[in-house]
Amino acid sequence: MKFFLLCKRYYTNKDLITDRFGRLFHLPIQLTKNNHTGLVVAADYRNKNQEKYVINGLNFYSIPFSIVWPFSFILKTFEIFKQNQFDVLIASGDSHFGVLGFLLAKMAKIPFVFDVYDNYTSFGTNKVPFMKSFFYLALHKADLVVCASVPLSKMVFKYNQSVIVIENGVDLSLFKPMDKQQARMQLGIDDNKVVVGFFGSIDKNRGIDVLIAACKILRRSYKLKVQLLLAGKRSIPINLDESWIDYRGMVEQNAVVQFINVCDIVIIPYLPDKQVDLSNACKIAEYLACGVPVVTTRVANYADIFRNTPEAVCEPNNAEDMARAIATQLKASNIVKFPKELTWERLGHKLSKALLSIT
């Protein structure tokens, strides 16, 4: 089977190509390991030069893209597409890639697969006229819709009954347990501190202010020497100037692994939100792969993931309950075993079987 993947280069504040990050990188790589061939065309919103990369024998084309003038990108993508005979076209990353992918697949008379890893209707591009209509059109027309979470698949099922769940996985060669004391020494973190960590976008629906309030309660009422370790893009104005808050900004993937491993507890403090409730956070699999105790708010289907450690689940937007859950987990140190089905190898094999069933 020969596949064509159409997507965007930058997503979740990472670069598909240089960071080798996430499903848009790992799933096509895994398809090649399942004896398929293909290529990836990635829309580059940031740079003006077209580039080609070969990674693990797979061609990645980075093509400049502008939402207000997409025609150059469309023409260049069409030129690459018509040079080969493909068996299936996969589109991912946003609504307009879904529609373009459907049109190219229809022209070539091949199956069209729409990968929906998030609620695309909540993306900023939906300020552009017709974008939501593009999303639902791509859903309706897809021969198969791939969803990143069970809640998202239930929403999609209303529009297309050909749905499969392929979660966000993790690279176990990168995300794995490390020696905590050695990692703390390398990062300059006091070994006597109780380190609570969150690593990801500091955005309005992430509940970071609630996490900070919970840590204040732990320091005041539970008398714990808490140090809050944060890393990620700060998109909202929030005070991180407390002496016990250690904000490291944007960091590389290998640094995230180290940060997770220095923690006594890692947190998913998300607030209820349409986008959050349908999502599958990459960090869940990353946290579990590193073997660190987790506390999560009761959003999306996260409580189901941690059903064997109910003490690790707290109510969203409730600093007192979050502090309670953190204190309980610090004593119990209950760790959810990493689900082997969340390796990119397993997910890639699952996708391979699904694609073969429609080609």
- pLDDT, one tens digit per residue, over 254-301 is 899 999 999 999 999 999 887 787 777 778 889 999 999 999 999 888
Interatomic CA distance for residues 125 and 118, integer angstroms: 13
Interatomic CA distance for residues 74 and 301, integer angstroms: 37
What local confidence, expressed as pLDDT, does residue 178 receive? 95
What local confidence, expressed as pLDDT, does residue 303 receive? 85
Virtual torsion, Cα 114, 118, 121, 124, nearest 10 deg: -120
Beta-carbon contacts of residue 260 (< 8 Å; ≥ 6 apart): 175, 197, 199, 266, 286, 287, 290, 292
Mean pLDDT of 238-259: 92
Query: Helix or strand or coil: residue 8?
Result: strand
Both tokens of 259, joined, read 């940060």
Mean pLDDT of 238-264: 93
Interatomic CA distance for residues 307 and 194, integer angstroms: 25
Give the least confident one: 71-80, 172-181, 222-231, 280-289.
280-289
Identify the residue with better confidence: 59 or 250. Answer: 59
Interatomic CA distance for residues 177 and 265, integer angstroms: 14
Identify the residue with better confidence: 203 or 225. Answer: 225
What local confidence, expressed as pLDDT, does residue 21 receive? 84
Phi then psi dihedrals of residue 122, to 5 deg: -95, -5
pTM of the model: 0.90
The CATH number of the structural domain formed by 180-332 is 3.40.50.2000
Task: Provide the residue type at 186 as one letter.
Answer: Q
Give the least confident one: 29-43, 171-185, 260-274, 298-312.
298-312
Task: Give yes or no for residue 35 having a pLDDT over 80.
Answer: yes
Task: Say what angle helices 208-220 and 319-332 make with each other, to 10 degrees.
Answer: 60
The tens digit of pLDDT for each residue in 316-346 reads: 999 999 999 999 999 988 888 898 899 999 9
Report, at the CATH architecture level, how domain 2-169+343-356 is classified.
3-Layer(aba) Sandwich (3.40)
Domain boundaries, the chain: 2-169+343-356, 180-332
Task: Provide the residue type at 92 as one letter.
Answer: S
Tally the residues of the chain: 359
Intrachain domains 2-169+343-356 and 180-332 with the same fold:
yes
What local confidence, expressed as pLDDT, does residue 305 receive? 85
What local confidence, expressed as pLDDT, does residue 330 receive? 94
What local confidence, expressed as pLDDT, does residue 271 receive? 93
Interatomic CA distance for residues 105 and 31, integer angstroms: 19
